[in-house]
Structure 1
């Protein structure tokens, strides 16, 4: 089994690339989605988050994402502390996911793959990159936010250059048909590596 870390900055098109890999029969684990699920269902994690951020972190037993975002984006220490609670639970959940899987290739997709240290358990890393202006346009269109808000979000992530330096493969996602060819090429290389 080969574990691939898939990452890329906000607006790079990670989800598009992930869907392409899925279409080739690769099993996928989306860290952000699973983190939100665990933050809503894991009793120990819920208790710890309430201790850290306060009772307002949950409304009607559901994660109050707007409140939490507001708190952590204005306080880096709280964000670091929250990540220190969530990431170990996600890693443990991923280990269980691997145990149940019979897939030859699994993709672990995470926006903050390097920042969370999750790159350490991946065999290979794929970074999705895109033109800076394209990324901004995509996020504005997708989330209905201002350019200033997009730039603020980008400051919380490693830049593309840093990610690319630490990666084995890079997908330049500026043209969908080109992206598809790049994904298929990487997939074929991984299949060969798995057979070694």
Structure 2
């Protein structure tokens, strides 16, 4: 099985691209979906996160991500503490996914792949990118997003030029869905050929 790391900055279109890989037959793992599972009622992160950050437990028994965001955004120390709790649980979720995956290509969405030096874990890295103006328009259209919040998120991420240096393949999402889909198909063909020859 070829292990592919999919990454990109906020608003670049990772979720859409990941869905395209799934449509082409890849087994896919979504980091955001994993965090949602961990934060949902009964999730493995609920108790340790709510103990460290009192007041973030929602009425549904899970972690209220908006309340948690207010606690950690712009607070480097709190963010480090949160990541120390959540990242090992996310990695366990990844490993469970890989143990069950039955496909010739597995694609893992790792938003901070570059920032956390994880490129060496993967056979190939795919970077999803888009024009800066397109990205900003997409992100600021999200509910509750502000320029200040976007700035705080981007401050934790590498410049796009640095992320692109890690790429074995690049998918642009600002030229229309069909062009992005065609690029995903080309990548899948290349990965399957690589798998066949290995």
Tell me the TM-score normalised to structure 1 length.
0.89
Partner of 2:156: helix, strand, or coil?
A: coil
Work out whether 1:191 is the aligned partner of 2:186: no
Given the superposition, is the C-alpha separation of residues 50 and 33 from structure 1 closer, same or farther in structure 2, using an over 3 Å criterion? Answer: same
Cα distance in 2 for partners of 1:117, 1:93 equals 19
Tell me how far 1:146 sits from its aligned partner: 3.8
| Structure with the bigger percentage of helix | 1
Where do 5+ consecutive residues of structure 1 fail to align? none
Counterpart of 2:56 in structure 1 is 57
Deviations 1:36-86 (CA, angstroms, capped at 9, x unpaired): 21133334x3332123212x1212321111111011103111111111211
Cα distance in 1 for partners of 2:74, 2:187 equals 39
C-alpha RMSD of the superposition: 1.8
The aligned runs of 1:33-112 (5 Å cut-off) are 33-40=33-40, 41-43=42-44, 45-54=45-54, 56-60=55-59, 61-112=61-112
Counterpart of 1:15 in structure 2 is 15
Given that 1:32 and 1:110 are in contact with CA atoms closer than 8 Å, whether structure 2 keeps it comes out as: no
Size of the aligned set, in residue pairs, is: 194
Given that 2:119 and 2:166 are in contact with CA atoms closer than 8 Å, whether structure 1 keeps it comes out as: no
Deviations 1:127-170 (CA, angstroms, capped at 9, x unpaired): 01110001011112343634444333322222211111122111
Tell me the TM-score normalised to structure 2 length.
0.89
Tell me how far 1:124 sits from its aligned partner: 1.1
Cα distance in 2 for partners of 1:81, 1:130 equals 31
Tell me how far 1:118 sits from its aligned partner: 4.1
The aligned runs of 1:114-193 (5 Å cut-off) are 114-143=114-143, 145-176=145-176, 177-193=178-194
